[in-house]
Chains A and B, each alone.
Chain A
Amino acid sequence: MRTSREILRAHYERLFKRLGLWSGLTSILIASLVAVPANAAQLTDRSLTLGSSAASANTTYAFSFEPGQTATVGSIKFELCTSPLAGTCTQPSNATMAGAGGLSLSGEISGFTVSNGTNNPSPTATTVWIENGTPQSLTAATASGVSFTGIVNPDTANYQFYARITTYAETAGSTQRDFGGIAVSTAAVMTVNANVQESLVFCVGATVGANCTGIGSSSITLAPNPLTTAAVSYNTAQMGAATNAISGYTIAYYSTDMCISGCTYSITKAADGGTVAATGGEQFGFVLAAQSSGLLNGQGANHSGGTGATVSSPYDGTNSTIAYDTTGPTTLATASGPTTQTTYTMLYAANVSATTEPGAYSATQTFVATGIF
C-alpha cells in the first residue's frame, strides 16, 4: 500500500507531465491557427512608367506585371511607399494617389474598376485598389497593364521611391495572391532655351529680286510720255517683304499729289475708294493686282511668293479701278504670320484732260513695313 507521500508524488508527476504535454501541443496549435501568410508568388516582369518624372507632377502611372501563378484575382492593391517590402507603407515625400482616376486596362486583365470604399478603400495618398465583381483568372507569366491618371509625384527631384502591387483572390481583398515591389525615381527637369532674333526684310524699286536683291531704280516714268488725252499712261514698280514676326506685317504708304510748280497744279487723284480708269479726264492712282478688264486690261500682276499675304481693298481690284490716298498712312497689304518674301507689283496709271496744265508732273510715295512680333 502506498503512502500518502507516494500518492501525492505520483499525482504531481502526472500533473507536470500533462502540463508539459499540453503546453507543447497548445503551442503547436496556436502556431497552426495563427494566420500564416499564403504561399504568395512574386509578380514578374513588373514595372512602373511615369508620364513625367518631374517633382510634384500630376501625371499618369502605368503599371505592368505578370502574375507569378495562375489564379483568380478579384482585387489588386497599388501602393506608393518609401520601401518596396511588404508591411507598413509610408507616404513618399508628399506623393499621392488620392486623385487616381482614368483607369485604363491592357493585356490580360479586364473588368476591374477603381474601388470606392464598398469592398475596398477608396484611393488614399498611398493606396489605390481596383476590383472586379467577378474575380478574373489571370495566367502566370502573361502581361497585364493598369494605368491611372491623376497621380502626384513626390515633391523632391532625383528621389527614389517605391511602388508595390498586391493581388488578392476576392473582390474584397483578403487572401493575397502575388506581390511585387518596383523602384521608381523622380528627376529634375531639363530646360532647353534658344533665342530667335526678329527679322523684317523690305525693299521697294522699279523691280526687286529674291531676298530683296537686284533692286531696280527708285524712280519710274509713266508711258506713253507725255501723257495724252487719247490713251492711258502707266508703269509698274515692285516691293518685297519677308519676316519672322509671329503675327506677320503690314505695309502702308504716304503719298503726295501728282503735281507741278510746288503743287500749284496737280492731276486730280483717284478717289480714296477707287476710280475706274478712263481717258478724257484727269486721273492718277494705282492698283496692286493683275487687271482682267477695262482700260488697264492685261496690265499689272498679282502678288507672288510667301504665305499669308493679302492686298487691302480697293488696291486689290481687277477691273482697272485705281485708288490714291494722300492722307496716309494707308494700309496697302498685310501678312498673317512669318513668311518668306512676297513680291507686290504696283500698277500706276494716269489720264489727262484737254485742260490739264502742261509740265513735268511727279508724285512721291513712301512705303512703310511694320513687323508685328
Chain B
Amino acid sequence: MWWRRRLIVSLALSLALNGVAYAVSLGDPSSSSSSFRLDESQIGAMGDFDSSSASFQFDPSADDGGSTLGEAATGNSSSASFQSGAGFNTTNSPALTMMVNTTSVNLGTQTTAAAQTGTATFWVKNYTSYGYVVQVVGAAPTYAGNALDPITTSSCGDAWGCASSPGSEQFGLNLVANTSPVSVGADPVQDPELPAYSFGEAGDGTGTAGPGGTRPYAVPGRYRFVSGETVARAPKTSGKTTYTVTFLTNISNTTAAGAYQGNLSIVVTGTY
C-alpha cells in the first residue's frame, strides 16, 4: 500500500541520516591532518588475521589460490631515521618487554692475587618507541656497611672504565666481550630471527665502543659502576636484544672480611 512505501522511505531516510550523524560524531581517531599523521590505519587490500566463524576460517596466505585477500605488506623496514612496522600483527600501543635471565651471580672467594668475574644476562624488546635506555640501579656488594669500591672516573682517570687491578679494591661491570682479566662476557646479541630490526647496543651512545674506545660499559677489559648510569640503549624501536653483564671484583689487604652482597635493579625506560 502507498502508506507502507512512504513509511519505508521515511524510515530509510531517517536511518541514513542517523548513520551520517554517527559517522560524523565518531570521526577517525587514527588519521590526522595539518602535518598529516597516519596511525595504524589500513590502506590497501583488506585482510584479517585468523578470523573465522562457524562456517569458515580466513587465513591470509600468498598461495591460497585467491581464497583470501592477504595483507598489503608485512614486516619491518627502517633507515637511520625512520622505521615502520607493517602487517596485521603490529600494534599501535607502546610495548616494553624485558626479562632478567640471571638473578644470582656468585663471584666466589676473593683474593688479592687475582680478579674474580661473573656474568648475568637479560633481554629487552621495545616497540612503537623512539628507543630505550637501560640503567643499573643499586649498590656495589656490601658487608656490614662496607661496599666494595665501585670503579669510577676517579679510580683511574678514564670515564669509560678501568682495567682490573688485583690487590686494589674494585667493583665494576661492562656489557661487552672481554679478554681481560680473563675471557668473559659477550657483546649484545640481536634477535636471531630479525637481526636487522634489533638495535640494542652496549653503553650510553657517547664516544666510541669497542677496543680502545671511550664509551662507558662498552670497552672490552674496562669496567665501571655508577648506580643509575645508562649501560645499554637502543636508538629506536627495537626487537629483542640480549645483553650479557660481566661483573668484576678485586680486593686489597684491607678489604673487610665478610660475605658481600649487592642487589642490582635493571631499569629500562622507553621513550614514546
Residues of A whose CB lies within 8 Å of any CB of B are 9, 12-13, 16-17, 19-21, 23-25, 27-28, 30-32, 34, 36, 45-54, 57, 83-85, 157-158, 160, 162, 180-185, 187-199, 242, 244-246, 337-340, 373
Q: Which of B98, B127, B144, B256 contacts A244 (CB 8 A)?
A: B256
User: Is there contact, CB below 8 Å, between B137 and A52?
Assistant: yes
18 additional A-B residue pairs with CB within 8 Å, beyond A49-B267, A373-B258: A9-B2, A20-B11, A48-B269, A51-B267, A54-B263, A162-B94, A181-B94, A182-B272, A183-B127, A188-B103, A190-B100, A192-B262, A193-B260, A194-B260, A196-B255, A244-B254, A338-B255, A340-B254
Interface size class of chain B, counting residues whose CB lies under 8 Å from the partner chain: 35 or more
User: Is there contact, CB below 8 Å, between A190 and B263?
Assistant: yes
B96 CB within 8 Å of chain A? yes
- A21 cross-chain contacts in B, Cβ below 8 A: 13
Could you show 19 A-B contacts with beta carbons less than 8 Å apart? Answer: A13-B6, A19-B14, A21-B13, A24-B16, A31-B24, A32-B21, A45-B130, A50-B267, A84-B94, A162-B94, A180-B272, A182-B94, A183-B96, A187-B268, A190-B104, A190-B265, A195-B110, A196-B256, A199-B253
Among the interface residues A16, A21, A184, A337, which one has the most CB atoms of the partner chain B within 10 A? A16
Shortest B140–chain A CB gap in Å is 8
- B261 cross-chain contacts in A, Cβ below 8 A: 191-194
Q: Which of B50-58, B74-82, B114-122, B152-160 interfaces with chain A?
A: B114-122
Shortest B32–chain A CB gap in Å is 9
User: Is there contact, CB below 8 Å, between B264 and A192?
Assistant: yes
Q: Which of B97, B260, B272 contacts A195 (CB 8 A)?
A: B260
- B270 cross-chain contacts in A, Cβ below 8 A: 47, 182-184
User: Is there contact, CB below 8 Å, between A54 and B17?
Assistant: no
Contact digits for B143-185, partner A, Cβ 8 Å, 1 yes 0 no: 1101010000000000000000000000000000000000000
User: Is there contact, CB below 8 Å, between B257 and A197?
Assistant: yes
- B31 cross-chain contacts in A, Cβ below 8 A: none
Among the interface residues B105, B148, B271, which one has the most CB atoms of the partner chain A within 10 A? B271
Q: Give B116-143 interface residues, CB cut-off 8 Å to A.
A: 116, 118, 120, 122, 126-127, 129-130, 135, 137-138, 141, 143
Q: Which 5 A-B pairs have the closest CB atoms?
A: A24-B17, A20-B10, A31-B21, A23-B14, A183-B96
Residues of B whose CB lies within 8 Å of any CB of A are 2-3, 6-7, 9-11, 13-14, 16-18, 20-22, 24-25, 27, 93-100, 102-110, 116, 118, 120, 122, 126-127, 129-130, 135, 137-138, 141, 143-144, 146, 148, 245, 247, 249, 251, 253-272
User: Is there contact, CB below 8 Å, between B93 and A84?
Assistant: yes
User: Is there contact, CB below 8 Å, between A192 and B105?
Assistant: yes
Q: How far is the CA of A30 from the CA of B22 in the complex (A)?
A: 9
Q: Which of B21, B138, B141, B245 contacts A27 (CB 8 A)?
A: B21
User: Is there contact, CB below 8 Å, between B16 and A85?
Assistant: no
Q: Which of B16, B24, B100, B107 contacts A187 (CB 8 A)?
A: B100
User: Is there contact, CB below 8 Å, between A187 and B265?
Assistant: yes
Q: How far is the CA of A199 from the CA of B254 in the complex (A)?
A: 9
Q: Which of A20, A53, A196, A373 contacts B251 (CB 8 A)?
A: A196
User: Is there contact, CB below 8 Å, between A339 and B254?
Assistant: yes
User: Is there contact, CB below 8 Å, between A242 and B253?
Assistant: yes
